[in-house]
Amino acid sequence: MNQDQLVQNTVHFVKKTLLEAEGGHDWFHVERVYNTAKLILKNERADVLVVQLSALLHDISDPKFHDGDETLGPKMTQEFLRGQNTSEDTIDHVVKIIQHMSFKNSLDKNQGAFTSKEMEIVQDADRLDAIGAIGIARAFNYGGFKNRALYDPGMPPNPNMTKEEYKTSNAPTINHFYEKLLLLKDGMHTETGKRIAQERHQFMLEYLEQFYKEWNGRE
């Protein structure tokens, strides 16, 4: 099978899987990550197919919605790609990227357990979708889904939360900016990723300034 056909089949598979999923991630998030990964690829030397497949498959199973089972996404990926007669080298690489890419893993100290140029590209693209205008929209959307307050001056952010605290925290959405979103810029790997992150980061800072101005009824 040629690469274009394989990518098309993967798009179809991911769309179908995400339609049946419980929400949280949608196809449009995946499409943005896929497009951003292709943009970053223009300035990098990397295996294009591995980047494309990893970007498309990186969120097919979110452990948040599967009793924390982090093995399901990699398993589904491997099964799907085997059915497409993809080379074992490509499958191994894509599965490794998906295993190591979730933000949960990347908060871990053992993040360095696996890395590759291809993984860096997809991770940059995924992180870029969590910041800037889209990132802000996604954060408040998530907060709404969890019934969280927008902001509470009596609940200051805690950037040093442990992973357990982070999972169970019911903090207002503005805290998420300080606990995660404003930290992502410094985690970028590629030059293109760093450049785009800089602009989106700046936009979030301006957004927060405006937010507090309005919150406090200042002009």
Q: 131 near 32, Cβ under 8 Å? A: no
Site for ligand ADP in 50-69 (CB under 6 A): 59, 62
Q: Is 130 in the site for ligand ADP (CB under 6 A)?
A: yes
In 3D, which of 93, 130, 118, 101 has the Cα closest to residue 190?
A: 118
> Minimal distance in Å, beta carbon 5 to Ni ion?
25
Query: Which of 120, 126, 127, 193 is the binder for Ni ion (CB under 5 A)?
Result: 126
Phi first, then psi: give them for residue 141, nearest 5 degrees: -65, -45
Cα radius of gyration rounded to whole Å, the chain:
18
Query: Which of 126, 128, 188, 204 is the binder for ligand ADP (CB under 6 A)?
Result: 126
Q: How far is CA 158 from CA 32, 92, 162, 206, in A?
A: 30, 37, 10, 21
Query: Which of 94, 139, 196, 204 is the binder for ligand ADP (CB under 6 A)?
Result: 139
> Minimal distance in Å, beta carbon 85 to ligand ADP?
29
Site for Ni ion in 55-84 (CB under 5 A): 59
- 138 interacts with, out of Ni ion, ligand ADP, none, CB within 5 to 8 A per kind: ligand ADP
Nearer to ligand ADP, 44 or 59 (CB): 59
Q: Which residues contact ligand ADP (rule: CB under 6 A)?
A: 25, 59, 62, 102-103, 126, 130, 135, 138-139, 142-143, 173, 176
